Chain A
Amino acid sequence: MSVEDLASLFLELSLRLSLVLLGAAFLMTVLRIWKGPTLADRVLGLDVLTSIAIGFIAVVAIDTGFTLYVDIAIALGLVGFLATVAFARFILTQGEAEEHRGDALPLAGDLPGSDGPFEENEAR
């Protein structure tokens, strides 16, 4: 076996192993998004998911030579950044709403005649 064969075998092996690692990273991040427990944790999970997807696109481009998706990786980074910024502002305004809930309009669960707070309807 020559050096060239050994090198290409090593490249094949490391491509497979890195795809396995990236798949495990996807699964762990999706588990965090599923478990929550807060909105900021889910936003962070989406951010990590974007970066893992960019790495996945790079690995697939090396593996198959199909480099069309690198443009999509750049666009994905842009969209992920904008989504994180927008969600950060949303978290800020939502926290203010929770802070001043007393002097705002009552929620549906606080009205008389309704059965309990609103959170119980959403809890599984």
Chain B
Amino acid sequence: MTAVFQILVGLLILCGSAFAAVAALGVLRLPDLYSRMHAASKAGAVGSSIMLIALMLATDQPSEVLRAIGAIIFFLLTAPISAHLLARAAYLVGYPMWKGSVLDEMPDTARKKHYGPDLQGAKVSQSATDLGAT
């Protein structure tokens, strides 16, 4: 490993772990579930992806490079999906926002769509299967 690669790997590792630490700090300190999710799903995915890129540069075996690429692609594909599913479930069930939030775009339309027009649970099972198909 040449000197340039060593410095590049060191910088990437520092950058990725700083992203991960900021994500964890946001998960610890932000006021409600949705803003915590904002910190976790973006900064967390970027942090571990940057560290896997550093692993790609550091190793000299092609199989490790391919594994790291596969892990990055898989992680970047699944992180938004899981964050979306969790946020959707929490919003439909009615987890409260922080009281300092300035805007709730769908104050009752989302729950009405989920539970039926009179909030009686008419479409519950259908929406649950929709979630599973996503």
Q: Which residues of A contact B (CB under 8 A)?
A: 3-4, 6-8, 10-11, 13-15, 17-19, 21-22, 24-26, 28-29, 31-32, 38, 40-41, 43-45, 47-48, 51-52, 54-55, 58-59, 61-62, 67, 70-71, 73-74, 77-78, 80-81, 84-85, 87-89, 91-96, 98-100
Contacts and interface: CB of A to CB of B under 8 A. Distances in A.
Contacts of B79: 51, 81
Identify the interface centre among A43, A51, A89: most chain B CB within 10 Å of its CB: A51
Contact of B44 (A6, A24, A51): A51
Contact of A40 (B7, B25, B44, B86): B86
Interface string B41-81: 10011011001101100110100100110110011001101
A40 B89 contact: yes
Q: Is the interface of B mostly helix, strand, loop or mixed?
A: helix
B28 A92 contact: no
B48 A52 contact: yes
A111 to B, nearest CB: 24
| B interface bracket (residues with beta carbon within 8 Å of A) | 35 or more
Nearest to B63: A67
Interface of B: 2-4, 6-7, 9-11, 13-14, 16-18, 20-21, 23-25, 27-28, 33, 36-37, 40-41, 44-45, 47-48, 51-52, 54-55, 58-59, 61, 64, 67-68, 70-71, 74-75, 78-79, 81-83, 85-86, 88-90, 92-95, 115, 121, 124, 128, 131-132
Contact of B71 (A11, A32, A54, A80): A54
Nearest to B52: A58
B75 A11 contact: no
